[in-house]
């Protein structure tokens, strides 16, 4: 039986179809240089040139935390982006341990590492960003018993719906808008459309697609010593992976990230960052004895540094 998206997701997908502008990678850094006459006092000027652009580099992180969730421990996260006239392609890798114990976190057949690759195509102009991302996870070992239960040997482009822990891919649409560098207020909307995003209906036992949606409000503060503080508040409007497919609306991410960048040369720069993330949903569910999405990790942290070529 074909599942029908909830009202929230119908509106979001409709908005995506209307948006014909483009996007920038969620892992790439935004820039405000190479500008000419401004459009207004609060909007960034039109770009002076939209030619060929590229960016490549890697971060070393103490923990992989994401949208109020703990994804892994110590790791290396590499990124390569190339773009032209607003259209861009991006590929992002994570190679790291599932946690700091460097041991299997679930079944004996799992490995202690969680490699991931995200491929993105998008288009960006004047602060508006639209992108489509395909995420694949390599943390599955072929096993004849587990293959039917956990998605072992899943194909690189397996778009079928799967329960949590099954299937090897996830796909997602993202729309982001940032007002300007003078008013660094942003909103991000993400909705999963294909791949692993399923839950079993408690009444019928049918596997349904959640169309997991995440909405995030952000503001960037410029601090002394060329520091930037990124404040984010994220929530999910309906049942989704961010709440373990339990409940409806929930605030699941309140985070701050302190960043400092240095230009080492005309084409090389270095970043250092520290991130603290609080999951209000996890705290609330633990207080009620309902169980945590992160296994008790309601307060998450990460520190790291990176080197990039531009």
Domain of 252: which CATH number?
A: 2.40.160.40
Which pLDDT value is given to residue 36? 35
The yes-or-no verdict on residue 29 having pLDDT over 60 is no
Which pLDDT value is given to residue 98? 76
Among 4-8, 50-54, 178-182, 296-300, which is the least confidently predicted range?
4-8
HSE value, Cβ hemisphere, 13 Å, CA-based, for 276: 4
Which pLDDT value is given to residue 167? 65
Among 144-153, 203-212, 266-275, 285-294, which is the least confidently predicted range?
144-153
Which pLDDT value is given to residue 148? 45
- Asked, for residue 1, whether it belongs to a domain, the answer is no
CA distance 240 to 192: 10
Q: How many residues make up the chain in this entry?
A: 310
Segment 179-187 mean pLDDT: 93
- Asked, for residue 185, whether it belongs to a domain, the answer is yes
Query: What is the count of structural domains for the chain?
Result: 1
pLDDT-based confidence at residue 179 (cuts at 50, 70, 90): very high
Which pLDDT value is given to residue 284? 85
Segment 166-189 mean pLDDT: 90
Burial 240-271 (b: 16+ CB within 10 A, else e): bbbbbbeeeebbbbbbebbbeeeeeeeeebeb
**Considering only CA atoms, which of 29, 27, 54, 52 is closest in space to residue 309?**
54
Residue entry with tokens 């609080």:
278
CA distance 47 to 275: 31
Segment 170-174 mean pLDDT: 95
- Asked, for residue 212, whether it belongs to a domain, the answer is yes
- Asked, for residue 153, whether it belongs to a domain, the answer is yes
CB within 8 Å of 255: residues ≥ 6 apart: 68, 230, 231, 232, 234, 275, 276, 277, 278
- Asked, for residue 250, whether it belongs to a domain, the answer is yes
Q: Partners of 191 in the beta sheet?
A: 173, 213
Which pLDDT value is given to residue 139? 54
- Asked, for residue 229, whether it belongs to a domain, the answer is yes
Region of 37 on the Ramachandran plot (φ > 0 left; ψ -120 to 50 alpha; else beta):
beta
- Asked, for residue 93, whether it belongs to a domain, the answer is yes
Q: Tell me the pLDDT tens digit for each residue of 93-151.
A: 999 887 776 665 554 444 566 688 999 999 998 899 999 999 987 755 444 444 444 44
- Asked, for residue 186, whether it belongs to a domain, the answer is yes
Query: How far is the CA of 246 from the CAs of 8, 231, 238, 282, in angstroms?
Result: 17, 26, 9, 12
pLDDT-based confidence at residue 239 (cuts at 50, 70, 90): very high
C-beta neighbour count of 105 within 10 angstroms: 16
Which pLDDT value is given to residue 271? 96
Strands 185-195 and 268-278: unpaired
Which pLDDT value is given to residue 115? 81
CB within 8 Å of 40: residues ≥ 6 apart: none
Say what the pTM is.
0.80
Please return the burial class of 142, using the count of CB atoms within 10 Å of its CB with bins 0-12, 13-18 and 19+.
exposed
Which pLDDT value is given to residue 172? 96
CB within 8 Å of 265: residues ≥ 6 apart: none
Find the domain containing 176 and state its range.
Answer: 7-309
Q: Tell me the pLDDT tens digit for each residue of 82-94.
A: 999 889 999 999 9
Which pLDDT value is given to residue 50? 64
The yes-or-no verdict on residue 173 having pLDDT over 60 is yes
Which pLDDT value is given to residue 112? 62
């Amino acid at each position: 039986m074909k599942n029908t998206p909830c009202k929230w997701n119908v509106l979001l997908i409709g908005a995506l179809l209307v948006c014909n502008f483009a996007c920038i990678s969620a892992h790439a850094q935004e820039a405000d240089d190479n500008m000419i006459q401004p459009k207004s006092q609060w909007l960034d000027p039109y770009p002076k040139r939209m030619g060929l652009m590229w960016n490549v580099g890697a971060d070393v992180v103490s923990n992989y935390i994401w949208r109020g969730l703990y994804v892994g421990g110590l790791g290396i996260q590499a990124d390569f982006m190339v773009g032209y006239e607003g259209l861009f392609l991006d590929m992002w890798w994570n190679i790291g341990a599932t946690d700091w114990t460097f041991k299997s976190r679930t079944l004996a057949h799992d490995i202690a590492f969680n490699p991931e690759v995200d491929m993105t195509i998008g288009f960006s102009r004047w602060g508006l960003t639209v992108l489509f991302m395909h995420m694949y996870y390599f943390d599955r070992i072929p096993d004849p018993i587990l293959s039917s239960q956990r998605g072992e040997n899943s194909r690189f482009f397996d778009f079928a719906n799967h329960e949590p822990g099954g299937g090897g891919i996830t796909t997602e649409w993202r729309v982001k808008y940032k007002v300007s560098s003078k008013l660094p207020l942003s909103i991000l909307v993400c909705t999963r459309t294909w791949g692993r995003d399923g839950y079993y209906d408690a009444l019928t036992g049918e596997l349904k697609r959640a169309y997991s949606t995440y909405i995030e409000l952000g503001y960037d503060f410029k601090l002394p010593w060329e520091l930037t503080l990124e404040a984010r508040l994220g929530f999910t409007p309906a049942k989704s992976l961010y709440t373990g497919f339990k409940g409806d609306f929930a605030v699941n991410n309140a985070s701050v990230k302190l960043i400092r960048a240095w230009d080492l040369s005309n084409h090389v720069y270095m970043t250092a960052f520290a991130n603290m993330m609080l999951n209000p949903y996890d705290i609330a569910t633990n207080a009620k004895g309902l169980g945590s999405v992160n296994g008790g990790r309601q307060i998450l942290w990460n520190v790291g540094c990176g080197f990039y070529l531009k």
